Structure formats: C-alpha cells, structure tokens
Amino acid sequence: TTGKAMVDHPGIDKIAFTGSVEVGKEIMRGAANTLKRVSLELGGKSPNIIFADADLETAAKFALGGIFFNQGEMCTAGSRIFVEEAGYDEFMSVLRGRATKMVAGDPLHPKTRLGSLISQEHLDRVLNYVSIGRNEGASVAIGGERIGSKGYFMKPTVLEGVTNSMRVAQEEIFGPVASVIKFKEPEEGIREANNSQFGLAAAIWTRDIKKAHQMA
C-alpha cells in the first residue's frame, strides 16, 4: 500500500526498487502516469562458471559464498553453478565437504554461516522448489530440508543432475538452493549461462586468463 502510494504520488520524482521482476513491472507501469524516473534491481539466476583447470578448492569456497551468503536471499546470488565435466567429480567432492560444515543459527554467533529465512511462507516456497527439482529429475546432493521447528532455518542445499531448462534453473528461488549443471565445451557454458530471462551477476573460474577474458 505504501509503495503504491509512493509510485502514484506526483510529488515523488524518483523510485529506486530492489525486488522481484513482477513487482518491478508494476512499478514501471505505475511510474509512467507521473513520468517519474525509475531504477530497478530485479531478480537473478546468476551463473558461476567453473572450469576444470581452476583452483577447485577456492572455486568451491566462493561458489558456496555466492549462493549461501544471506541464505540465498539476494538478487545477485550465484544460484546456477556450471561446472566443466572434466572437473565435475572433484569439484562436487569439495563442495559437499564444505557445504555440510556450514552452520545455521543465531546470526550473531561467530560460527554461524546461515541465518533464518524471512518467513514461514517463504520457507515453504523454497522447500517446494526442492520438490519441484526432484520431480524434474534433479537429485539432492546435500540438504533439502528444514532445520528444527523454531524459526525458518533451512539446510544449505545443492541440487545436481540439473539441466538448464528445469524450473529450478530458470526461476528465482531466493533461498539457500544451488543448482549444479555440467558442461563440456566453453561455448556450451556460455550458451547455457546466457539462456535465462535474468541478467545481473556472473563469475568465471579458470587459471587461463585468455579463456577468462573470452568467456567474460
């Protein structure tokens, strides 16, 4: 109600909004009535592209940070992790080991790495996406469940066997859920990373600087 009043009011010259694509569209439509300027930072399914020649230990560490920082409730979350097939098994071994050690709980505790999701409704929505992923043929490498019954905590979750056409790879989950997708050739990695309605952030992991520049 407050947001709509601000968008509609002729005395407000500019709206800056961070949130979902659907709300962003609504704001843009409403702002046209008073010709006010609009800045929008909307949803993301940001790709993290990891080549077999990368330092896979470091790549896994930062890939986890990319999706689990703020428990995935970020527009820029690196929710699609593309891994070159030649390094896939080694990368997943490191990723699983690191992810299972991540502690969820009190955000003021120094060992905590994940806090609570924003609401019961949103927790249910995120858990439903895990079910959607399973139904589409993905498997849960780690996590996929709620933690306890107090608060809205969820285990850090990694889905593998994901293809880029699945809903879990195309729709913004906005929670601690990473979709890991294999690719064989750099061209395939570029094509699949760009095959999304979203565009916000991206990362490339390789020791070959020429390859990094070409991919970027």
Catalytic residues: 41, 75
Among 80, 84, 81, CA closest to 53:
84
Q: What tokens does 69 get?
A: 């920082």
Question: 51 with 205: CB under 8 angstroms?
Answer: yes
Q: What are phi and psi of 38, to 5 degrees?
A: -135, 135
Q: What tokens does 159 get?
A: 């889905």
Cβ-in-10-Å burial (0-12, 13-18, 19+) of 64 comes to: buried
Question: 81 with 50: CB under 8 angstroms?
Answer: yes
Place of tokens 């820029």: 76
